[in-house]
């Protein structure tokens, strides 16, 4: 599958193209958060990696092989933590498409990346790269400042 054609702006992240079908939701909380869907005969895994309280979220997608499909046929997870661990393992070492969504709709920011150190680290690099593309330094600093504002108090506390 051509990963460049996987994303269409304005689509919900769990259905990033209008022709995505056969949605199999593995975990949801108001919306699908982890699962698979098909584009033609290709099986794609999706997962929400991070979200903010203001409706911004980061998602990852990877194509699965026929042997992956066989492995997934009867898999069950006793807990959400075990599901998350399984998904991390499945993505590690693979090329993934990373996207940002706002209010459950894909926005223009997306990239392809090899998942090396886990999904959160890969998304962190994606966000850093996205921030570095902002040419207006005042906008870039405001966005970083907002990030500090959302950080745990110990990160920005006085000694």
pTM of this prediction?
0.87
Query: Nearest Cα to 35, choosing from 16, 55, 57?
Result: 16
- Residues 64 and 22 sit within 8 Å (Cβ to Cβ): no
The predicted pLDDT at position 137 comes to 82
Question: d(Cα 76, Cα 10) in Å, to the nearest integer?
Answer: 32
- DSSP labels for 32-92? EEEEEEEETTEEEEEEEEEE-TTSEEEEEEEEE-HHHHHHHTT---SSHHHHHHHHHHHHT
pLDDT in tens, the chain (159 residues): 677 788 999 999 999 999 999 999 999 888 999 999 999 889 999 999 999 888 899 999 999 998 888 888 878 888 999 999 999 999 999 999 999 999 999 997 789 999 998 999 999 999 888 888 878 888 878 877 777 777 777 666 655
The predicted pLDDT at position 74 comes to 79
The predicted pLDDT at position 142 comes to 81
Residue 48 to residues 9, 26, 45, 156: CA-CA distances in angstroms?
16, 12, 11, 27
Question: d(Cα 13, Cα 36) in Å, to the nearest integer?
Answer: 11
Residues 6+ apart with CB under 8 A from 67: none
Question: d(Cα 126, Cα 156) in Å, to the nearest integer?
Answer: 23
Question: d(Cα 38, Cα 82) in Å, to the nearest integer?
Answer: 24
**Dihedral angle computed from the Cα positions of residues 11, 89, 76 and 16, in that order, rounded to the nearest 10 degrees:** 10
Structure tokens at 144: 């970083």
The predicted pLDDT at position 69 comes to 87
């Amino acid at each position: 599958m051509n990963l460049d054609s996987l994303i269409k702006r304005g689509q919900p992240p769990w259905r990033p193209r209008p022709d995505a079908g056969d949605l199999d939701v593995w975990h949801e909380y108001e919306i699908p958060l982890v699962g698979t869907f098909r584009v033609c005969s290709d099986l794609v895994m999706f997962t929400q990696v991070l979200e903010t309280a203001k409706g911004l979220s980061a998602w990852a997608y990877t194509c699965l092989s026929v042997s992956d499909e066989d492995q997934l046929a009867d898999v069950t997870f006793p807990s959400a933590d075990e599901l998350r661990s399984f998904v991390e393992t499945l993505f590690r070492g693979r090329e993934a498409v990373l996207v940002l969504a706002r209010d459950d709709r894909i926005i223009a920011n997306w990239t392809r990346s090899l998942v090396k150190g886990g999904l959160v680290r890969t998304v962190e690099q994606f966000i850093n790269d996205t921030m570095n593309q902002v040419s207006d330094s005042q906008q870039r600093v405001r966005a970083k400042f907002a990030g500090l504002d959302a950080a745990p108090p110990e990160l920005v506390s006085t000694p």
